[in-house]
A and B are shown apart, each in its own frame.
Chain A
Amino acid sequence: MTSLVSLVCIGLLLLILAPHGSVAADLPESPHPVVEGIECNGNSSITCELIRARCGITLGRELDEREIESARLRLEALPNVRAVNIHLIKGSRKQRVVVVIEVMEVNPLTTAFAAGSLLQISTPKAQVQTLAGRLTDHDVFGSGKVLDLALIGAWFLGGGGGKEYATRLEYVDPQLFGSRRYFLMVGGFYSQSSYNFSIAPDLAGNGWNGYTNSGAGFDFSVGMHLDTYSYVTAGYRYLSLRNTSANNQYLTSDGVITTLSSSPGSVAMFTIGRNTEDDPFFPTRGWLLHGYIAMGNPHDLTDNFSGVVIRGTWRAGNNSFWTFQARPFDDFRSLFDDDLGISIVYSHALFGETQPGATRRGRWFVGPGVTDLKHSLGFHEYEVGLKAGVRLETKYLGTVNLYVIANYVVGNGY
């Protein structure tokens, strides 16, 4: 009886003396290494708690090297992470290991630039130059929210004249109230276009062949992920317009979508989309469907704009791809459009055989296309053209897109 009491007492004493929460003390003996701890190095904006939660490595379990490799890839897919290196250090005794996760973070500020030329080789001949850029903070004050400033300008070089520019400041919350299902986008925009045509209809009815149109406004949308790749959004947009020529339809850009507008006011917007592309800049496969419909003033059909964007990419051969793209309901061309309405583009990797990490990515591309110009100044014509360019990841300028579109307008019907 005394022995039994002594044993219980020793057991209780050991329990009290054992360090609370110590994984090492609780671990079973195992011939294989067991994970005793997880440490983080190199992280500044990402917390170690997030890294531990995302890596999927369980304390106290046998080390699974496949799981370690998967953890590395999952962590490398995190925004703001450039690379992840995982190694082991000795634990408290043999066959106990501590997993050390070293994170190399990227600057959350990213930039992108685009420069393009459109050469219209049929009469009236024209050359349009476009420049665009954007600055994005992917982690505003370490909160994981996104702030994005985009600027775009286009102007004619010789032949008639005109210029157009737009700017948009957008705030994006990828996880609204911490939810993985809902997201929020809030934006403010301003755009202005002015034209003075040498050959054009008398737009204002006052003998002046030109116009100036400016639009400003704000919008917000709440989005919901339906499944892995599908999403819907519902939003509201207020547009204020100033036109020198009233009662006409003009292309107005909110910095994201260019629409035909003739009157200011409120617009309710709905979007549905599906995106299975692996990389929006250098897609290798997958497809994208983005449809939007705006329910504006029921008496003004131009406020009820809608559109669909479709894009699909598939492999053409070693390091080369085909991309089909269409905007079937956009029967106009905005100066900001850098594509031909319906097109098929061949692209080829510039650095396909070089080592990853050592070289930045790049592609050249070329492809024909056709645009329906039904709502471009009332002419119902088609623009047949060819687009060619190069897209590069650069060290100092971020992603750079350089392209030329040469087109020929066919048809002369009103």
Chain B
Amino acid sequence: MRPGPNSKRRLLLLAPLSLLVPLDVLGAQLTPLLQDGELGLRLLGVGLPPSLRQDLVSGLTNRIVIRVVLLKGGQPSGQRLIGIAIKYDLWEETFDVKLTIDDAPLRSQTCRTVDEVISILTSLTVPRLFPAGAAASVATGKLTLVAEVLFDPIEKARLEEIRKWVAENDRPIPPDPTSVSSGLPARPSTSSRVFNRIFEQYAAGASVAAAWKETVASAPFRLEELRNGP
């Protein structure tokens, strides 16, 4: 069937809009897994911060938190936190990768190259997150898994401490009233946008915020539709 003039117009309208969608988000894919009657996930192609390769060899621990929420009929029915800690040993020149679920150790492995670590992050399989009872489908609604991936998250309390420290030590000049009531724009701030963005995430209601985060959702599914693996 050939597209009509209306379809073409719609496509033309969608083309510039599609440029606004980050490309890495388009690539990310979340698939539910059923293993021994328990629900897990496979996360493929998650978007990584551009500085990650450099960060991984910084000698400091890189922490990634994946908050997985199970939605039943659109309503949250369970949540698990997957933690990934990656530390580069400056002397051995190896990467120690540790996975936890709700702070309980799951597995750890040693990688020799950055590419190996990136391969783990972009093709992550975590089985047995939700017991079958919790994941059982209801008659009216399907299940959805949503994963929020946060790189090096910062706790709200610590950010508050830093904010107070900055206010007391930087002593920025108080804003002049032009920023409030005059057509003159206020003096632009020269401080970091990333710093301000983390504040915005908390202000927007996030319980954990990070300078880089990505949210991926699975397609709606029923437990019965999944093949039970070993």
Q: A residues engaging B (CB < 8 A)?
A: 54, 65-66, 68-70, 73-74, 76-90, 94, 97, 106, 108, 110-114, 116, 130, 132-134, 136, 138, 146, 148, 150, 152, 154, 172, 174-175, 180-181, 183, 185, 223, 225, 228-229, 231, 255-258, 273, 275, 277-282, 284-285, 288, 290, 292, 309, 311, 315, 317-321, 325, 327, 330, 334, 336-339, 349, 352-358, 360-361, 393, 398-399, 401
Contact = CB atoms under 8 A, between A and B. Distances in A.
Contacts of B179: 280-281
Given A279-B199, A325-B180, A356-B212, A76 B192 contact: yes
B109 interface: no
A228 B168 contact: yes
B204 A318 contact: yes
Contact of A79 (B22, B170, B180): B170
Nearest to B200: A284
Contacts of A78: 170, 191
Given A315-B203, A356-B211, A361-B196, A85 B60 contact: no
B163 to A, nearest CB: 7
Contact of A256 (B158, B177, B198): B177
Given A90-B90, A130-B183, A172-B173, 4 more contacts: A86-B60, A284-B199, A336-B184, A349-B200
Nearest to A284: B203
A89 B193 contact: no
B180 A339 contact: yes
B174 A110 contact: no
B112 interface: no
Interface in B179-230: 179-200, 202-205, 211-215
B187 A79 contact: no
B188 A136 contact: yes
Given A154-B183, A229-B167, A318 B205 contact: yes
A172 B176 CA distance: 11
A413 to B, nearest CB: 25
A239 B91 CA distance: 69
Given A336-B182, A349-B200, A81 B191 contact: yes
30 contacts: A74-B162, A77-B170, A81-B191, A86-B58, A86-B60, A87-B58, A88-B60, A110-B188, A150-B178, A172-B173, A180-B169, A185-B173, A228-B168, A278-B203, A280-B175, A280-B179, A281-B179, A290-B177, A315-B203, A319-B200, A325-B181, A336-B182, A339-B181, A353-B215, A356-B211, A357-B193, A357-B197, A358-B22, A361-B193, A361-B197
Contact of B182 (A73, A180, A229, A338): A338
A401 B54 CA distance: 37
A132 B183 contact: yes
A285 B214 CA distance: 24
Contact of A275 (B57, B169, B174, B188): B174
A281 B179 CA distance: 8
A319 B183 contact: no
Interface residues of B, number: 64
A218 to B, nearest CB: 16
A311 B181 CA distance: 10
A282 B200 contact: yes
B6 interface: no
Contact of A174 (B171, B181, B213): B171
B187 A174 contact: no
Given A85-B54, A114-B185, A309 B177 contact: yes
B1 to A, nearest CB: 34
A225 B171 CA distance: 8
B52 to A, nearest CB: 12
Given A74-B162, A172-B173, A275-B174, A88 B90 contact: yes
Contacts of B165: 74
A114 B59 contact: no
Contacts of A54: 169
B61 to A, nearest CB: 6
Nearest to A403: B183
B204 A338 contact: no
Name the residue in A89, A132, A281 with the highest tally of chain B Cβ atoms < 10 Å from its Cβ: A281
B172 interface: yes
A280 B192 CA distance: 14
B152 interface: yes
A150 B154 contact: no
A73 B193 CA distance: 11
Interface in B35-90: 47, 51, 54, 57-61, 90
A364 B157 CA distance: 29
Nearest to B90: A90
B159 interface: yes
Nearest to A339: B181
A275 B183 contact: no
Interface in B2-51: 22, 47, 51
Contacts of A106: 190
